[in-house]
Amino acid sequence: MDWNAEWSILGLCLALWGAWRLRLRAAAYAAGSKRATVTNPYHCVAVRACAQPCESARRIGTRRFLSSEAPPLPLEACEAGDAACTYMHFEDRRSGPRRGPLAGRAAADAAPFERRQGRGRRATDVAPVPVRT
C-alpha cells in the first residue's frame, strides 16, 4: 500500500470518528435540553400559580426557594393538573433593597445622640470615650 492510500484510510477513520462524536453530542444536548443548567449558586425560583390556585399554591404564596430546594411541580394535592403552576426564575432570593434605610449615611447622622459614656469595658481602657457634639 502506498502512502496516499494510508492517508486516505486515516482521513476516512477520522471523519467517521468525528461524525460519531457529533451524533453523541447532539443526543446528549437533546436529552439535557429539558432542564436548564444553573451556574449561580443563589439562583432561586418562585411558584407562579394559575388563575384558580390550589391550597398548596396559596400556602406557598410568593416565597422564593433556592433551585435545589424548590417543590416539584405539580404541587402535592393539586387538583388543577400538570400545566397549572410554573416557576418564575430570579438571580437570588432578595426581593427588596439589600440594606436598611440608613445605608450610606454617616454614623453621626444615623444616631440622634451619643450613647457611649464613660470608659470602655476593657481593663486597658483608662480614658473616657470622647463625646462629639
pTM score above 0.85:
no
Residue 8: which H helix or E strand, with range? helix 3-32
Give the integer Cα–Cα distance in Å for 69 and 42.
11
Interval 65-109: pLDDT, tens: 988 888 888 888 777 765 578 888 888 877 766 666 656 566 556
Contacts with 92 (C-beta within 8 Å, 6 or more apart), sequence order: 40, 42, 43, 44
Q: Calculate mean pLDDT across residues 118-122.
A: 70
- pLDDT tens, position by position, 24-62: 888 776 665 555 666 788 889 998 888 778 888 888 888
Q: How far apart are CA 129 and CA 27, in angstroms?
A: 71
Q: What is the pLDDT of residue 127?
A: 63
Partners of 86 in beta bridges: 48
